[in-house]
Chains A and B, each alone.
Chain A
Amino acid sequence: MSDVIKAWVDEGEVKRLAEALLSRPILGEVEVKYGDNFEGFAEGIPSQEAAPVNEIRAREAASVLRKAREEAMHGGSVRPGQQAPASPFRRVTPTPAETSKGAGITPAAELKRPGAPNGNEPLLKRMQTFGEWLKGPVGAQSYFISTRNGQPLLDEVKNPKLVQVARTLAKASRPSRSKTEEMGSLHVRIGEHSILEVIPAPSQYGILILGLVVEHSLEDTVIREIRLGLQEVADARLIRP
């Protein structure tokens, strides 16, 4: 390949994207068959309160996370004792500056993530607190957080298809060294008034995937705050008195 072209595109990245595009799992494994009548999945997305974190859920989540961490270490994306790597995801297509007018929603420019929690609280509880911020100032209708394999840790959306969609999108936007070319943005319209924003965040458990159902796509600065916030929630340290 000529040097000029090489300077413009990352050959490896294109190969990966192309293979992801051709790989059957986008269809088969994920079982997203929207079929002829797909017009978005706005209906059937309940935005109910998350179930209280009970002990059993927490234990389940802990084992899912332990496995996720092992896999991530195995795959080389997390090394023992290592701090979470810098985000491998680049935000992509700039989204039009849409300002939400809903009550209680903070304008994008002023939105700051909540302070980093300490690790004394259980992870799921921390995630839930974070979720309240997502639904408050950020203005999300609902959200879920899953491991990179699509195993939900917290799921308010209660639509397994969407979790799989998020996973597919997250996979399709893998890290890249190339700085020259923007990749597609990580959101997809799922209904007339809803968009699924997919925000993958690196953490000690490997990549966590946050799916947000929002009315308008979010601005880059907001996405960044959310990603950092989720990272802090996942990587919070125990603080001993």
Chain B
Amino acid sequence: MITIAVSSQKGGVGKTTASINLAHSFARSGRKTLLVDADPQGSVGLSLTRQSRVLPGFFDLMADPVFPLERLIVPTRLETFSLVACGQSSDYELGGGSAGVTLHRVREFLRSVAARGFEICIIDTAAGLFGATADILTASSAVMIPQQAEPLGIRSVPKLMSVLTRMKVVNPELNILGLLLTMMQPGLAESREAAQALKDMLPSELLFQTMVPRDDLFIRASARGLPVGAMENGAGAMAVFDRIRMEVEGKLAKDN
């Protein structure tokens, strides 16, 4: 199983949007896919399912390792697509926690998910690359980093590079899929400049060629907790994530 963490230092850069739509694209391509919400503040689309009550999820399992996984995996209308909600994180310290224990549980979780035949597991993480997210990155096979196409966002790139280097020290197998530019506005000079700056600075392997355009459809879709592909007129935006998915597949293939 390939586990892709979708992470960034900054909040609101499009992690959840990228997670939902990338997972949806993998699932539609026929791969048995699990989307995990590991952001206590976030809300990966639960309307993909018919259930609306608060579901037990990932952090329940972190708090209580014998929590049965079957109760966490929520099927969707798409047979190949399942979700794990975030669950209760009240007694999980986001900033600290004893690294060893959580890491162990994340690994156990991923092992049992793999044992259930999932081929792809995409984890939407909270902003920041510490605490639970650091443990998730240590246990993952790959990481994708959404980056908003705006000049201010570029400031965090040097720090991001050194944090990733540290992650790679503890998890040498971690495939850095690269930065995914999001909310790109080709008509806006600042947006273009930000994209160009990243192209100038980063080796091409560290930057997705496909960029996610700014499109109100993403906002409407996320308000309903849906992948854009499930929206009326969503075909174009969905095609963007199909291209991103193919890039991911290429990167993963190259690594093996």
A169 and B169 contact, Cβ closer than 8 Å, known pairs A14-B161, A22-B203, A192-B100: yes
Is B94 close to A, CB under 8 A?
no
In angstroms, Cα B169 to Cα A46, docked, is: 22
Question: Judging by beta carbons under 8 Å apart, are A21 and B164 in contact?
Answer: yes
Residues of chain A with a CB closer than 8 A to B176's CB:
21-22
Residues of chain A with a CB closer than 8 A to B219's CB:
none
Tell me how far the C-beta of A213 lies from the nearest C-beta in chain B, rounded to whole angstroms.
15
Residues from 127 to 177 in A contacting B, C-beta threshold 8 Å = 165, 168-169, 172-173, 176
Question: Judging by beta carbons under 8 Å apart, are A9 and B107 in contact?
Answer: no
Question: Judging by beta carbons under 8 Å apart, are A1 and B197 in contact?
Answer: yes
**Most B CB within 10 A of own CB, among A13, A38, A169:** A38
Tell me how far the C-beta of A188 lies from the nearest C-beta in chain B, rounded to whole angstroms.
6
- Find A14's partner among B151, B196, B202 (CB 8 Å cutoff): B202
Contact stretch, chosen from B39-47, B116-124, B152-160 = B152-160
Question: Judging by beta carbons under 8 Å apart, are B165 and A192 in contact?
Answer: no
Of chain A, the residue at the smallest CB distance from B206 is A18
In angstroms, Cα B196 to Cα A40, docked, is: 39
Tell me how far the C-beta of A162 lies from the nearest C-beta in chain B, rounded to whole angstroms.
11
Flag A1-17 by CB within 8 Å of B: 1 or 0 each.
11011001111011101
Question: Judging by beta carbons under 8 Å apart, are A8 and B154 in contact?
Answer: yes
Question: Judging by beta carbons under 8 Å apart, are B103 and A20 in contact?
Answer: no
Residues of chain B with a CB closer than 8 A to A9's CB:
154-155, 157-158, 197, 201
Question: Judging by beta carbons under 8 Å apart, are B158 and A188 in contact?
Answer: no
Q: 19 A-B residue contacts at CB 8 Å?
A: A5-B151, A14-B157, A14-B202, A17-B158, A17-B161, A21-B161, A21-B165, A21-B168, A32-B169, A34-B170, A40-B99, A92-B162, A168-B165, A172-B166, A178-B158, A183-B159, A184-B163, A188-B169, A189-B99
Residues of chain A with a CB closer than 8 A to B155's CB:
8-9, 180-181
In angstroms, Cα B85 to Cα A59, docked, is: 61
Question: Judging by beta carbons under 8 Å apart, are A184 and B201 in contact?
Answer: no
A14 and B158 contact, Cβ closer than 8 Å, known pairs A5-B151, A184-B163: yes
Tell me how far the C-beta of A172 lies from the nearest C-beta in chain B, rounded to whole angstroms.
4
Residues of chain A with a CB closer than 8 A to B171's CB:
34, 38
Question: Judging by beta carbons under 8 Å apart, are A2 and B151 in contact?
Answer: yes
User: Which residues does A use to contact B, with CB under 8 Å?
Assistant: 1-2, 4-5, 8-11, 13-15, 17-22, 26-27, 32-34, 36, 38-40, 92, 165, 168-169, 172-173, 176, 178, 180-184, 188-189, 191-192
Is B193 close to A, CB under 8 A?
yes
Of chain A, the residue at the smallest CB distance from B130 is A93
Question: Judging by beta carbons under 8 Å apart, are A19 and B203 in contact?
Answer: yes
Chain B: how many interface residues by the 8 Å CB criterion? 37
Question: Judging by beta carbons under 8 Å apart, are B104 and A15 in contact?
Answer: no
Is B64 close to A, CB under 8 A?
no
Residues of chain A with a CB closer than 8 A to B103's CB:
38-39
Question: Judging by beta carbons under 8 Å apart, are B201 and A11 in contact?
Answer: yes
Residues from 75 to 114 in B contacting A, C-beta threshold 8 Å = 98-101, 103-104, 107
Tell me how far the C-beta of B195 lies from the nearest C-beta in chain A, rounded to whole angstroms.
11
Residues of chain A with a CB closer than 8 A to B162's CB:
17, 92, 172-173, 183-184
In angstroms, Cα B39 to Cα A16, docked, is: 32
In angstroms, Cα B76 to Cα A164, docked, is: 46
Question: Judging by beta carbons under 8 Å apart, are B197 and A5 in contact?
Answer: yes
Is B70 close to A, CB under 8 A?
no
Tell me how far the C-beta of A216 lies from the nearest C-beta in chain B, rounded to whole angstroms.
11
Of chain B, the residue at the smallest CB distance from A41 is B170
Flag B184-223 by CB within 8 Å of A: 1 or 0 each.
0000000001101100111101100000000000000000
